[in-house]
Structure 1
Amino acid sequence: MKSLHDHALRQPLSDLMHERSLPIYKTPVAVRSWVYLVSDDQRQTETDWVNSLQAGAPDLSRLAETDETTGRIWERHGEFSTWLKYDTDISLSAATKADLGFCRIRTADFDWLTGAPGEVFRSVEISVLPYEPKTAQLQKVIDLTQAVCCDVFDGAARIWSDFRMHEGGAGRIYVQDKGLENDEASRLLQTLIEIGHYRKLALLGFPVARTLMGWLKGAEARLAGLTSDMASQSASQEQLLERLMALSAEVEDRVNAVRFRQGATEAYARLAEDRLVSLRETRVAGFSTMQEFIERRLHPAMRTCEAAARRLDDLSVRIARVSDLLRARISISLEVQNQSLLKSMNVRAKLQMKLSELVEGLSVFAVGYYIFSLVKYMIDPLLDPHLAHLLYGPIIATILVLAWLFIHHRKKSIGHSET
């Protein structure tokens, strides 16, 4: 029988489907989560810190210590890391019902955070109790005037949150367990945590987009002025090209500076929207659903980011078009200059031809005079001077004709050899 060989990624990819889940399968439970923004320079410090917290072979993306009642989890993501602590050792005492289980987990009590590098970007605490609170109890821990309340997971739980920072620097979400079964508590908590994290991370692109909008206004005005000067020909081509190249370099620099943030913002927003859909919300009279609340505030910010990205891309395209026009203008100018140069070269060639013909005529006389001098030198001693003078005329005419025929023949032979 042929042996079976597993692909190297078979088991890792299978484990990937389960590694992000929270090991929480019962309520009551209190959960506290932190998001730390960690720069590339701080990653090695973080790795060293996490390695000091665990024994054995280190995992560079996740660290979890859990038991029957409590647990601590660290996870590394692209530009941030999350730290989480939960506690299921909660009784439905009068004190628990009074504060609805909040403030049980504090930052000062979470020793893993002592050496955690980075900056705290978000923190949230979630309390899950099988208890329907009174309005007065909720008002003490959550501002109900602007709160979100809805049933989720097809009515298996009800959530309240006001999306505000409370005591201890954390937001609060209260979850009433109305019949969560199997891993629904784990999935609900994971979904609520991720919605908040990704929503907040998506908003990192909003200040960048607003700053970019201000710069784009000036850059578009510069391009409009450059285009106007090119149309009116009020500036030289060298000046226009220099200004266009400077603007193009600035645009590419901005593209490189904001491209990552634009892509990350879009990805975070989509993840938040996907998690909102998975809540399967049902409206509670008098309150907004979580999806309505988040979309009402998140979508305008995302539209601003998208508009800034479109304007930046449009500016780059417009600069490319103006650059093509300027290159065409320069090309036409060079062609006109070349035509003028060819015309002047043609005029000079014709002039040289006339000069050559003049020189040719003079050379006939020069050659004739030189040959006649030689012939005269040979004839004078042999003939009578009177007779010699009679022969000079025909000799000169013959010499000139022969010289002209020789030069004309040589010129034609040279022309044929060049072709």
Structure 2
Amino acid sequence: MTSAPFADHPARRLVADEVHARPIVFVPAKGRVRRIAVSLPEGPDAASRAMARFAQWCRDAGLPVPTGRQHSYEAMGCSVTWELHTEFVTLSWLAAGPERAAWPEGIGLEALADCTLLVATRVDLVDALEVPEKLIPTFNLGSLCVSWIEARTGQIASDFKPDDDGFTRFEFACGALSTVRRAVLVRRLLEIETYRTYALLGLAPARERGPELARLEDEVARTLEAMSEVDTVEEARETLDLLHKMSVAAGRLGEATGFRFAATFAYADVLMDRLGRLDEESVGYASTLRRFLRNRIDPAIATCRAFEKRQEALAGKIDSAIRLLNTRIGLDVELQSRALLEGISETGRSQYRLQKTVEGLSTIAISYYAIGIMSYVLGGAGLDTPTKQWTLALLVPAVLLLVWLALRRIQHRHGAGGTKLS
């Protein structure tokens, strides 16, 4: 064998195996197939721990160890298939010959002891073209579903009611179907019940968390209404703190329901796909599986979608309110800063005017004293009064100018020195 001249992509094996991850298991035209689906415990490593537990059980039972997410084996006279899914494990088995017990020991149920049971269903295979008429009264007539499938080469019946052992029952008349089509349809029926049940899991948190969501919606509505009366920065910050708390509460609510709703929508899509592939035709006196389940599941899915949209709308309102308040606070702070700067500017202008006034007064005062001194000097020089007065009058402008220039020079030197120090 010649090897490829390339290194394998890390996901090549995974992608190739995924196509064959859920192979069909061939079943006889007469018998009973049972399946249970158990939810894994919480925790990020729940799937790996479930795989390890089952592998250990296989070793203890002397069976081959699983190498993938599906493992088929023979145990206690039963053909068993174990499958690991994202959040649950299924165990399906077919007893060879007459069935002995609904919950047989030694087939692997022990490896699921720490899981919780959610789905239990059985498919009774009938080697006939139609479901025997005598079996119809054994179903609940209020929820009876009977339909032709595969271009009227088979027929199925169910009421989706658990029997005394807790299993939902399907009667499957498959006498005219090939071995492959029979196996495919048995798996499809088992998947319909599994995905139908897991799709409805989202209804519980939608109902349980409904009052909490309604309370948050009411609080946000009242807060938004009160925002129009917020006048001060302090009030805006108090409202902003309250909105942040609501945002945290809404986030926790989304975390609590987000995964469940996403899984619900995914399971519902797969369920409708499986129902559509049955290619049902009504028998006339009962509902088809598709019509019956859609009438009951669609409202539940719509409830979950409405809850999710309400959560998104609530988060959007809170975010918008927070942005508005942040803008309001920023604007108020900017206005306050502007007012403060204007006050500082006005103070500077007042100081400047005062400085000019003081400078003028200082010039007059110094000049006054300078003229007084000159008057004494001129008087001592022996000038007569008229001559002294005319001399002083002529000196006044010069003294004022010299004093003013001296003060300006001192002021200039003081300012230059301050600049250098800074």
TM range (shorter): 0.7 to 0.9
Q: Which residue of 1 aligns with 2:38?
A: 36
Is 1:23 the equivalent of 2:25? Answer: yes
Is 1:53 the equivalent of 2:61? Answer: no
Q: Secondary structure at the match of 2:286?
A: coil
* Residues 227-266 of structure 1 aligned to structure 2 (within 5 Å): 227-233=224-230, 236-266=235-265
Contact residue 38 and residue 117 of structure 2 kept, 8 A = yes
Q: Which residue of 1 aligns with 2:79?
A: 71
Q: Which residue of 2 aligns with 1:115?
A: 111
CA distance in 1, matches of 2:170, 2:78: 19
CA distance in 2, matches of 1:154, 1:14: 33
Is 1:143 the equivalent of 2:124? Answer: no
Is 1:155 the equivalent of 2:152? Answer: yes
Deviating more after overlay: 277-286 vs 315-324: 315-324
Q: Which residue of 2 aligns with 1:353?
A: 352
1:91-114 alpha-carbon deviations (Å, 9 max, x no partner): xxxxxxxxxxxx655214354112
AA partner of residue 217 (structure 1)? A
Contact residue 32 and residue 105 of structure 1 kept, 8 A = no
Contact residue 79 and residue 95 of structure 2 kept, 8 A = yes
CA distance in 2, matches of 1:315, 1:159: 45
Q: Secondary structure at the match of 1:178?
A: coil
Q: Secondary structure at the match of 1:169?
A: coil
AA partner of residue 405 (structure 1)? L
CA distance in 2, matches of 1:127, 1:145: 21
**TM-fit CA distance, 1:257:** 1.8
Deviating more after overlay: 295-304 vs 29-38: 29-38
CA distance in 1, matches of 2:305, 2:107: 41
AA partner of residue 295 (structure 1)? R
Q: Secondary structure at the match of 1:125?
A: strand
* Residues 17-416 of structure 1 aligned to structure 2 (within 5 Å): 17-41=19-43, 42-43=46-47, 45-55=49-59, 58-59=66-67, 61-66=69-74, 70-89=78-97, 104-116=100-112, 117-131=114-128, 132=130, 134-140=132-138, 142-233=139-230, 236-364=235-363, 385-386=381-382, 390=388, 397-408=397-408
Contact residue 163 and residue 172 of structure 1 kept, 8 A = yes
- Judged with a 3 Å threshold, the aligned counterparts in structure 2 of structure 1 residues 243 and 350 are, in CA distance, closer, same or farther, namely same
TM-score (norm 2): 0.83
Contact residue 153 and residue 176 of structure 2 kept, 8 A = yes
In structure 1, list runs of 5 or more residues that go unmatched.
91-102
1:103-156 alpha-carbon deviations (Å, 9 max, x no partner): 65521435411231210111001111203554334434x324421111112222
CA distance in 2, matches of 1:225, 1:58: 58
**TM-fit CA distance, 1:370:** 9.1
AA partner of residue 146 (structure 2)? C
Contact residue 195 and residue 267 of structure 2 kept, 8 A = yes
Q: Secondary structure at the match of 1:355?
A: helix
AA partner of residue 286 (structure 1)? Y
**TM-fit CA distance, 1:24:** 1.0
Contact residue 30 and residue 88 of structure 1 kept, 8 A = no
- Judged with a 3 Å threshold, the aligned counterparts in structure 2 of structure 1 residues 385 and 398 are, in CA distance, closer, same or farther, namely same
**TM-fit CA distance, 1:388:** 12
In structure 2, list runs of 5 or more residues that go unmatched.
none
1:281-327 alpha-carbon deviations (Å, 9 max, x no partner): 11111110000111011000000000001111011111222223223
1:182-226 alpha-carbon deviations (Å, 9 max, x no partner): 411111011111111111101110011123332222112111111
Contact residue 30 and residue 105 of structure 1 kept, 8 A = no
CA distance in 2, matches of 1:234, 1:355: 38
RMSD: 3.4
- Judged with a 3 Å threshold, the aligned counterparts in structure 2 of structure 1 residues 366 and 60 are, in CA distance, closer, same or farther, namely farther
Deviating more after overlay: 396-405 vs 213-222: 396-405
1:5-45 alpha-carbon deviations (Å, 9 max, x no partner): 57455555344223312321532231111111112445454
Q: Which residue of 2 aligns with 1:99?
A: none
AA partner of residue 357 (structure 2)? L
CA distance in 2, matches of 1:167, 1:77: 27
